[in-house]
Chain A
Amino acid sequence: MEKLLKELQHADLQRQTRRHFLQTTGFGLGALGLGSLLGSCSTSSAETVGAPDVANARIPQFLPKAKRVIYIHMAGAPSQLELFDYKPELVKYHGKDCPAEFLEGKKFAFIQGVPKMLGPQGKFAQYGQSGAWMSDYVPYLQTVADEITFLKAMHTDQFNHAPAQLLMHTGSARLGRPSLGAWSVYGLGSENQNLPGFIVLASGGQQPDAGKSVYGSGFLPSVYQGVQCRTGGDPVLYVSDPSGMNRDMRKQTIEAINEINRQTYEEVQDPEILTRISQYEMAFRMQMSVPEVMDVSKEPQFILDMYGVEPGEGTFAMNCLLARKLVENDVRFVQLFDWGWDGHGTSKDHNVEGGLRQKCRESDQPIAALIKDLKMRGLLEETLIIWGAEFGRTPMQENRNGLVMPFMGRDHHLDAFTMWMAGGGVKQGFSHGETDELGYYGTKNRVHVHDLQATILHLMGFNHEKFTYPFQGRNFRLTDTEGKVVKEIVA
């Protein structure tokens, strides 16, 4: 009964928006006073106060195929034409003017006038039983070709990094929506009580362009937001105790703070206070668990060799190894960001020749190692790995300001790009979608960002049309009003 009352009260408070406030004040101060009086009279004991329970799962519509997700986002967007989307025709067009039909009514981030076409820079061949096309940029990934499902005809609506990243992760190019990871933890719950359910690891020297919003919780309670851990040094800043403070003292401090917070909650009934209380408790537990799970010094040498890491490094390779450890400890959603894939051709590091090769050298081996490592631990078939970026790159060479660029580069492209998935319920050794002979448009089985999101939720057991959260008077979903599950890739 008490639980029921609490629920009712909680629901009531959630509806207390500005509109209600104005409505209530319409009845005068007396009604306002009465409202707050009624609001606080039912909660008598501190014990009934609890945060929105992160461990509490909603019931999926279907049997989940993926229990956990590792989402590898290559921020900046690598060129699909150098890695996976093999276009021999483009070789013939190399150096020729771009056909007018590709340019009519189109807007690009940087391309102006009539650019030249740019042939593929990688050497392509087919690998595995499935005959997957891959280039010599990714020699290690070739060895796991038969684990992967490629989506060759992805497309998006946004050609700038930040909005495109937001669209990819939150389903909307504008701020304020929960991210895929937040939805996942909200849906399936957090399993390991000593670790956040949604952990973010970033590498490449910069954060993704869209900032923390790509792993935020939007209008979901903030317990569902991604917690970013640092790769080198203290994984979470200020989580370890300062010298002179022991664990008992820390415990007493946190208990005292939480007690004060509880009292405040009883007074003002703001559910975010409950989130704060639970975050304090989580932080206290994380003091023990996080350093332990982030410590790779106990890993055998051959595992470190496989990923190509040295303990103490803060690299993408290290993040892959950490992702495996986190997933092994039942963290629901691990988000990796790696910055530096924006190959416009503007500098030695940002192009589709040497620069892209270097980024591939840093990431190819650990990604293949991650797939192999998860597989031998029996985790791959329960864990969905997603690899991709916010968009793709043009078959034309970039001509920023109408000039010839110092390096081979390609501009942002939203009509066709490649993503891949492995593990958790997708087909092994499969390719879905085709692009035209120059790799400009998807010609068959195109997959929009919303379709991808619908498919990911489907793999986790959720019908994306029914998996909603009420906010500001309507039910919101990750895919908003769109999205179609790509059933063809589901194993």
Chain B
Amino acid sequence: MFYTLLQASSWAIFIGRFHPALVHFPIGFLLIGALLEIGRRTGKINVSESSIRFILLISAIGATVACICGYLLSLGGGYDAKLLDNHMWQGIGVAVFAWIAWLIKSDGFGGRIPFASVIYLPAFLLATILTLTAGHDGGSLTHGQGYLTQYTPEPFRGMAGMPPLEEKAEEIKPIADVQNAVVYNDIVQPILQARCAQCHNQSKQKGDLRVDQLAFLLKGGEGGPALIPGKGAESDMIKRCLLDESDDDHMPPKGKPQLTTDQITLISWWIDQGAPADKKVADLKANEAVTPALASLGEGAAPGLKKGAVKQESAIAGMKVKPASDQAIAALKKAGLIVNTLSQDQNLLEVSAVNAPNFDDKQMDLLKSVSQQIAWLKLGDTKITDAALEQIGTFPNLNKLHLEHTVVTDKGVAALKGLKFLEYINVVDTKVGDAGLKDLATMKGLRSVYVWRSAVTDSAVAQVGRQNPALQIVSGFNEAAVAEFLKAGDTTATKGVTKKL
């Protein structure tokens, strides 16, 4: 009766969720107690028995409370039963042995327990050891088994007899021959592993769902089957991915890495074709929507294509800052700068010096007052130098930067490295060289660099491009490239070359 009541009530889950937070207290207290006990017995430190007794008491209370919360959390279900069982009994063990150790030392009971002095140390030791093992199992329940040692480096890996480190799970490897790839094994399962399996695996089955095998997808979870073969659009997993991210039923949950439009298209397409386990891409009927998505899987897909076909929001899309003061904006306008608000509610600004060709380093101070708000800054064709870039490097939310046709150099560009929202930089016709490009390539968020007519060499563009496939480096072209381009028209009437996908 009480059990069913608890299961139905949101109180149970509310209290239960405190388990992962509370559980760290008894762990810490017990370890401190054990260390003090060792210190005391070896005579290294001077600490009274009453201090250790007090620590034991709060450890025992803490462990008990953690046990209760943990039990309530487990009612929610979705965990590997065996692992959960182990974890529970070890946790209860911690509490029991902590209480025993405290009882032996307590004034009231200590004298009445036979062999008290003999039991004390083993009890304390057991409580401490069980803390560690229970903690480890708890970690496995939350993060999945093997989480702790997944990235063990060599040579320890070999010594421990672990298989060599696999590619990072979140990265989906390009497929060498897309047409001959098995849709389920080579395309669908890697996406599920990267985006869904963290919570839906053998040891953690949120909503009673596992995604690691096709049979489990068909069986589904609490809400019924995850997919209906032949009906992609009606399948629960597709519907959930397409819900608004703020919706409670949306998957993956808000804040976790999301599936791209292409990935959803691919999975939906596979379900539409009956969700076969062993069919290859070539065996299935490709349609217009899935063709570019398939193309984006291949090795050496054009970088532009990868970026374009995959929906990619700007890093500043959801950013909100305090509005700039009216005086600051008026001062910028007075200096001939264009100041536009980028979008409603965000208060981010676009500042352009297109009407102020004489804008120089001295006027940079004007921008200080809106340093938080500037997202797009256009200082192309102005008189700024590297000194201005020192200041620009302190504009935390800068997203696009135009420096074309200025005298900036590598030294100035180096000052921009800390701009974590910068996605676009234009150094066309500047003195920026290879060192500057390499500095820019270290910026994780950067998507495109334009280096035509700068001092950047072609070999550096090729090298940096190879090392940073996600970065689009556009170097433009010269007379030879134009001559090559003009050949396209030579064969107007006879050309019939079909380039394969």
Contacts and interface: CB of A to CB of B under 8 A. Distances in A.
A376 B477 contact: yes
A376 B292 contact: no
A123 interface: yes
Interface in A425-458: 426-432, 434, 444
B397 interface: no
A276 interface: no
A192 B305 contact: no
Residue of B304, B402, B424, B493 ringed by the most chain A CB atoms within 10 A:
B304
A369 B486 CA distance: 10
A39 interface: no
Contacts of A430: 292, 308-309
A60 interface: yes
Interface stretch (A106-114, A124-132, A406-414): A124-132
B426 interface: yes
B340 A427 contact: no
B338 interface: yes
Contacts of A136: 492-493, 495-496
B288 interface: yes
A253 interface: no
Classify the secondary structure of B's interface with A: loop
A61 B344 CA distance: 5
A365 interface: yes
Contacts of B340: 57, 188-189
Given A329-B354, A429-B302, A130 B292 contact: yes
Interface in A157-200: 188-189, 191-194
A140 interface: yes
A491 B476 contact: no
B452 interface: yes
B404 A377 contact: yes
B474 interface: yes
| Size category, A interface | 35 or more
B110 to A, nearest CB: 69
Nearest to B425: A378
B308 A429 contact: yes
B498 A125 contact: yes
A146 interface: yes
A306 B497 CA distance: 23
Contact of A125 (B292, B302, B497): B497
Interface in A93-150: 123, 125-131, 136, 139-140, 142-143, 146-147
Nearest to A300: B479
Contact of A305 (B338, B426, B486): B486
Contacts of A218: none
Contacts of B304: 146-147, 428-429
Contact of B491 (A139, A193, A375, A427): A139
Interface stretch (B73-81, B310-318, B459-467): B310-318
A238 interface: no
Residue of B309, B402, B476, B493 ringed by the most chain A CB atoms within 10 A:
B309
Nearest to A127: B499
B497 A444 contact: no
Contact of A378 (B301, B355, B450, B499): B450
A427 B492 CA distance: 28
B403 to A, nearest CB: 10
A147 to B, nearest CB: 7
B235 interface: no
27 contacts: A125-B495, A126-B500, A128-B302, A129-B305, A130-B305, A131-B292, A131-B499, A139-B491, A139-B495, A147-B304, A189-B340, A306-B482, A361-B492, A365-B486, A368-B485, A376-B450, A377-B452, A378-B402, A378-B428, A378-B450, A378-B452, A426-B308, A428-B305, A428-B309, A430-B292, A444-B288, A461-B343
6 nearest A-B pairs in the assembled complex, by CB-CB distance: A428-B308, A376-B476, A378-B450, A378-B426, A125-B498, A302-B479
Interface of A: 55, 57, 59-65, 123, 125-131, 136, 139-140, 142-143, 146-147, 188-189, 191-194, 301-303, 305-306, 329-330, 361, 364-365, 368-369, 372, 375-378, 381, 426-432, 434, 444, 461, 490-491
